[in-house]
Structure 1
Amino acid sequence: MVEGTSISVSHYSKIENDIQDIKAKDLFELLDARKIDVNNFRKKIIDKKRNSLNELADQLTKAFYKPDIKLAKAVKEQLADFSDAEELQIRAELVVAVLTNNLKETKQELSAKLINYFERDATWMDDPDMLRIIGNSTRVIDFNFLATLMNKLLVKYQKIDQYPLDTQKRIGNIFVNYLHVLYDYRAKRMARKYINFLQNLPGIPELTLDKLMGDYYDAVFFKNEKELAQTLSVLKRVVPKIVSGLPEK
């Protein structure tokens, strides 16, 4: 037996080598035998777990921006071992789906998880990484629920000039992607307020592309062929790669 406990040496060895899980009764016996305070032990475990999650969150961010599909998948697998990391697990699924161009195949499952998550947590609107991931996932989220999310963003950021430039660019990019979705659904009425948002962005060089995209979708949705030709002419000179992915060119 392990000194001061009723745990056999062989059983302890299996626990130590991760062959068997330790029961609560055995854990308390060991802590008591080693004169370890339960509350201090619990705090150390929680801190260690929090640090592990923070590290995985950092790795996931690196995987998304690099991009690194292998790392993203590895992080997703590690997160599966945590029972209280739903937000990170959903984020990991989104990142892997985006990086592997697998959004269509995972749309139904991911959309259900996203709806459940976003209905309970509003902090995503202030999270730069989550906003960027959402911006890249507009085609996987249920259309009606996506409309609700976009409207929340529109309300929150209606005074966009009062936010940092990075935030202005991020929200602008999200609405550009959303307008592509609205085009796919021929949702002309819904498009106007997002077009107006883009066109009314501050007139600074860093936001020129988003403003141009506002002009582009204005011309597309409301059949202004002259404006469409002029805007496309500029876009083709500035960002030819983006033009190739536009719905009308």
Structure 2
Amino acid sequence: MNMKLGEYLREERKKLGLTQQDFVQNIISVSQYSRVENGEQDFKVSDFVKLISINNLDINQLIQTFQNNTQIKQTVLETLAQAFYDRDLTKVKKIKDYLKQSSLDNSLLLRTELIILTLENKDISHNKNLERQFSEELNKFDDWTNDKVFLQLFGSSMLIFDMDRLNIYMNKILSEYTNKIYSLSFEDQRRIAGICINYLNRCYSEKNLVLVNKSINLLNKLARNPDLLMYRLLGKYFKYLFNNENVKKDQILDLLKDAGYEKFTINLAK
């Protein structure tokens, strides 16, 4: 993120009549945020998404202002992910409306359409039109297993493909990342872990066990970083689910619900 983005945040904060302390609401320190406004420091995309969310900033205006900024693409992905977990169909549709008019990567629009269909409970399994669009995006990359935006898209597309084809894609990802996952950046670990969780969800519904153990093994190899706790916990959840250890599985479900993630658990295989 560059100084222009810091200036944007400062302008929006002043429009709201908020002090820096009121604006950040303990998401990051005031001193850290001050450096961001002055273009002296970057901060995590996840923190940025929280800031624009709690202050009700218009994501579409943000996209319009910074549509050539690669960090904004990541911000859109994070915002879509949060809207999906919140099951906020209205927000996702607003983002889609603007993306259709913007010059941002087409894969963002495709992911948005996937999320809308999912939230509307539409059946996207074996959807040939979506499969074709996805394949076209895949063909744009020489090494898709290392492209961040494509991996985000792939994580949202588990229901499109038949299991044979999906297993081929997952096998490539597992071969690429299993032995080095713990040494990657937090964002990269989170991205690959999210793919494994979505894949395991699909495997359970399809009674497909081909790569289940390998996927759970990758999740178990994530760095013991507190920020990755959810992904490691879900790795345990799927281990218990596939092994029919229902008491332990239900304990994790209850813990997630008690921690305020009841909407998230709706999407988990049970």
Post-superposition Cα deviations, 1:131-175, rounded to whole Å, max 9, x if no partner, equal 222212212234322222211111111210121011111111111
The answer to whether the 8 Å contact 1:72/1:95 transfers is yes
Map of 1:179 onto structure 2: 200
Post-superposition Cα deviations, 1:220-247, rounded to whole Å, max 9, x if no partner, equal 1111233323333433333333223322
Aligned residues: 189
Q: TM-score, normalised by structure 1?
A: 0.63
- What amino acid does structure 1 have at the position aligned with 2:172? K
The answer to whether the 8 Å contact 1:63/1:69 transfers is no
Which deviates more from structure 2 when the two are superposed, residues 141-150 or residues 187-196?
141-150
Map of 2:154 onto structure 1: 134
- What secondary structure, in the 3-state scheme, does the structure 2 residue paired with 1:104 have? coil
- After superposition, the Cα gap between the structure-2 partners of 1:73 and 1:140, relative to the gap in structure 1 and judged at 3 Å, is farther
- What amino acid does structure 2 have at the position aligned with 1:194? S
Map of 1:104 onto structure 2: 123
Residue 236 (1) aligns with residue 257 (2): yes
- After superposition, the Cα gap between the structure-2 partners of 1:226 and 1:71, relative to the gap in structure 1 and judged at 3 Å, is closer
Structure 2: which 5+ runs fail to align? 1-66, 81-91
- What amino acid does structure 2 have at the position aligned with 1:169? R
Measure the CA separation in 2 of the matches of 1:244 and 1:105: 18
Structure 1: which 5+ runs fail to align? 1-53, 80-84
The answer to whether the 8 Å contact 1:176/1:213 transfers is yes
- What secondary structure, in the 3-state scheme, does the structure 2 residue paired with 1:55 have? coil
Residue 214 (1) aligns with residue 220 (2): no
TM-superposed deviation, 1:180: 0.4
Residue 55 (1) aligns with residue 55 (2): no
TM-superposed deviation, 1:214: 1.0
Measure the CA separation in 2 of the matches of 1:213 and 1:138: 17
The answer to whether the 8 Å contact 1:172/1:210 transfers is yes
Q: Larger Cα Rg: Structure 1 or Structure 2? A: 1
Residue 197 (1) aligns with residue 214 (2): no
Measure the CA separation in 1 of the matches of 2:236 and 2:182: 19
Post-superposition Cα deviations, 1:83-116, rounded to whole Å, max 9, x if no partner, equal xx9xx43542332332454663592211123235
Kindly report which structure 2 residues correspond to 1:77-156, keeping only aligned pairs within 5 A, or say none: 88-99=105-116, 101=118, 104=123, 107-118=127-138, 121-156=141-176
Q: CA RMSD in A?
A: 3.1
The answer to whether the 8 Å contact 2:117/2:124 transfers is no
Q: Which structure carries more helix by proportion?
A: 1
Measure the CA separation in 2 of the matches of 1:233 and 1:78: 42
- After superposition, the Cα gap between the structure-2 partners of 1:63 and 1:203, relative to the gap in structure 1 and judged at 3 Å, is closer
TM-superposed deviation, 1:183: 0.6
- What amino acid does structure 1 have at the position aligned with 2:164? N
Which deviates more from structure 2 when the two are superposed, residues 56-65 or residues 207-216?
56-65
- After superposition, the Cα gap between the structure-2 partners of 1:66 and 1:221, relative to the gap in structure 1 and judged at 3 Å, is closer
Post-superposition Cα deviations, 1:9-43, rounded to whole Å, max 9, x if no partner, equal xxxxxxxxxxxxxxxxxxxxxxxxxxxxxxxxxxx
Measure the CA separation in 2 of the matches of 1:181 and 1:60: 27
Q: 1 or 2 for the larger relative contact order (CA 8 Å, sep ≥6)?
A: 2
Match of 2:182 among 158, 161, 181: 161
The answer to whether the 8 Å contact 2:220/2:235 transfers is yes
Measure the CA separation in 2 of the matches of 1:99 and 1:63: 15
Map of 1:223 onto structure 2: 244
The answer to whether the 8 Å contact 1:179/1:194 transfers is yes
Q: TM-score, normalised by structure 2?
A: 0.59
